[in-house]
Amino acid sequence: MGSNKQLLLVHASMENVSLSESVNIMLTPQFYTLKKEALPVKYLYQAKRIAPSLFDGLLEVGESYEYFVFKEEESWVFIAYNVEKISAFLLSKGIKLEQVSKLFFAQQSPSSFTDPVFLGEKEALVTLDDTVVVVPQAALREETKSFLFNDRFAPKTGVTLQGAYGSLLSMKQAIAAAAVFTLFAGMFFVEGWRYGHDSKAADVEMQRLLEAYPSLQSKMQRENIATKYKTIDVAERKKREVIKSLAGMIFKGVTFTSFSLNDKGFKAQFSCSDDKVAKRLKELAKKEKFHTSKGAGSNDVQIEGTL
């Protein structure tokens, strides 16, 4: 667990809060972009070096992003997040940056979301295929109840928002911290000299990797829509595959607005930012052999099909 502080789940539809002390916060996938890659990389510092190239063409141009990286079984997990946008959202909900102790991501605790946690009245957070995703509550079984979110969801490690502690250190604390850092600097100078010789082979390996994979791009893992079933028969698996296919059609400029599903077929409604985005969405649906229709005078696209 990250600490003994209260853990607050931050999501797009959350209500304003009033805090009297600092808290830890956990972000839903609405605030970060996730990628999983099985790469021939051994060390964390190597994975962090290539993180930016993994998201080429997937993030908003002109925006600044930070990257959080960790190992998950045989794959590396890469999370890109925009500190400025997260900070602005927190402030809009009444959370000052100095009140944030640690920042966690839902993907760090996939085993905690095997049962869905409701986000407001329309969405839920749940783990599907080891990935924590946001799904519409309408896609869950009617009898599904929300699992209680609490401090036990906190992982062991997190990040600190830049500037969150700028006003919290006293002069005495700052001097003490400076003394400690100076001592560590001397220790790391000696250790670094020795390590520099030992790491040449790793650097050569890293260079070969970067040359072999200049952009290291792969299919973006954003399965934002999925259904969790306790028992899955053939019909239920078909429903799940449909939802996974629809998940792959969500990209920048596309908003999922409604969804209905039964034993015979499904109908999904998407809102697109412009005609170009709507056209691309229809092309993706066509590849899945789904039927599409576009509202007259709007960029809303309806996708339907049979099971």
**Shortest CA distance to 253 belongs to which of 294, 189, 301?**
301
Same fold yes or no, 7-126+135-153 and 234-306:
no
CATH architecture of the domain formed by 7-126+135-153? 2-Layer Sandwich (3.30)
Q: Where are the beta strands (DSSP E) in 163-227?
A: none
pLDDT tens for each residue of the chain, 307 residues long: 445 789 999 999 999 999 999 999 999 999 999 999 988 888 998 999 999 999 988 888 889 999 999 998 889 999 999 999 999 999 999 999 999 999 999 999 999 999 999 998 889 999 998 999 999 988 888 778 889 999 999 998 999 875 444 433 434 444 544 554 554 455 445 445 554 555 555 556 556 665 655 554 333 333 333 334 344 456 667 777 887 788 778 877 888 788 888 878 899 888 898 999 899 999 999 988 999 998 788 889 999 998 7
Tokens of 257: 């607005």
Under the phi-then-psi rule, with left for phi > 0, alpha for psi from -120 to 50, and beta for the rest, what region is 96?
A: beta
Question: If you ran DSSP here, which 8-state letter would residue 106 be given?
Answer: G
- Please give the model's pTM, rounded to 2 decimal places: 0.57
Q: What is the amino acid identity at position 30?
A: Q
First to last CA, the chain: 43
Q: Where do the structural domains in the chain lie, given as residue ranges? A: 7-126+135-153, 171-212, 234-306
Q: How far apart are CA 72 and CA 52, in angstroms?
A: 19
Q: What are phi and psi of 105, to 5 degrees?
A: -120, 140
Give the dihedral of Cα atoms 216, 219, 222, 228; nearest 10 deg. Answer: -130
234-306: which CATH topology?
A: Gyrase A; domain 2 (3.30.1360)
